[in-house]
Amino acid sequence: MSDPATRLADIRARIDHAAKVAGRKSSDITLIAVSKTHAAEAITPLIDAGQRIFGENRVQEAAEKWPALREAYPGIELHLVGQLQSNKAEDAVALFDCIHSLDRPSLVSALAKAMDKTGRQVPCFIQVNIGAEEQKGGCAIADTPAMIAEARAAGIPLAGLMCVPPLGTEPAPYFALLDKIAAENGLEGLSMGMSDDFETAIMLGASHVRIGSALFGARG
Ligand SMILES: *Cc1c(COP(=O)(O)O)cnc(C)c1O
């Protein structure tokens, strides 16, 4: 694989191109570099190349890796893209600048409490189980309007909706559906699109793309 700076430039160029084709501004699309499983030595070359927004999927792993990196590099923004247990809500609110996995009422109350306690207002995406998959995290499509209302009532700042379409299927219909649900509920942000499908997601309105392996190489 090429060096990290080249990979980052390549992804940025592909984001720019997809945005242009879609008649959108690429500055409206946030690239989250998903650094889960990768050590600091793999992350710093991307920071040196200008990337500042990173994603992790586990609170514990992020708590081990990021405080030192943040001290060394100012201006880092950290996003949680993985499932969150209610008992880790306070750690997550203290550590992350954005949470993409709000998916159940018990987590709404845990996060609201944690935000109250820490005084940190962390924007959250509601994760929708867009393919209605048995094992997958995310709130059922039918329950999404109620989840949005609950989160709003609890004072949680909502960034939008997030999804991970079923593996091995054409993702476009799922991205379009997430966009439709967001529009129906007055939400603008759409966290959707990963290494294999981010261009499609951008054409269908993604505001945040979460890219891991295309930037870091395959996870071990
Ligand atoms: C790992 C992960 C990503 C990045 O996936 P790649 O296919 O490596 O780009 C994006 N979103 C979530 C929720 C993830 O867990």
**Per-residue pLDDT tens for 47-83?**
999 999 999 999 999 999 999 999 999 999 999 999 9
Task: Give the dihedral of Cα atoms 17, 207, 118, 73; nearest 10 deg.
Answer: 0
- Going by alpha carbons, the residue nearest to atom 4 of ligand 1 is 212
Q: Which two tokens stand for residue 207?
A: 């505001």
- Going by alpha carbons, the residue nearest to atom 11 of ligand 1 is 210
Return the closest-CA partner of residue 16 out of 169, 198, 220: 198
* Total domain count, the chain: 1
Return the closest-CA partner of residue 183 out of 155, 148, 154: 148
CB of 34 closer than 6 angstroms to any ligand 1 atom: yes
What domain range is 28 assigned to?
4-216
Mean pLDDT (whole number) for 12-26: 98
**Per-residue pLDDT tens for 206-217?**
999 999 999 998
Which of 210, 211, 213, 216 has most ligand 1 atoms within 8 Å of its beta carbon, as the pocket-test mutant?
210
Backbone angles phi, psi at 56, to 5 degrees: -130, 155
CB of 15 closer than 6 angstroms to any ligand 1 atom: no
Q: What gap in Å lies between CA 9 and CA 198, rounded to an integer?
A: 15
Q: Which 3 state secondary structure label does DSSP give 125?
A: strand
Average pLDDT, the chain: 97
- The stretches of the chain forming alpha helices (DSSP H) are 4-21, 40-48, 59-72, 89-95, 105-118, 144-153, 172-184, 198-203, 213-216
pLDDT at residue 18 is higher than 90? yes
Instruction: List 127's β-bridge partners, or say none.
Output: 162
**Per-residue pLDDT tens for 133-171?**
998 999 999 999 999 999 999 999 999 999 999 999 999
- Going by alpha carbons, the residue nearest to atom 6 of ligand 1 is 212
Sign of the CA dihedral 51, 57, 59, 63?
negative
Atom of ligand 1 lying closest to residue 219 CA: 8
pLDDT at residue 1 is higher than 70? no
Domain with 9 in it: what CATH number? 3.20.20.10
CB of 194 closer than 6 angstroms to any ligand 1 atom: yes
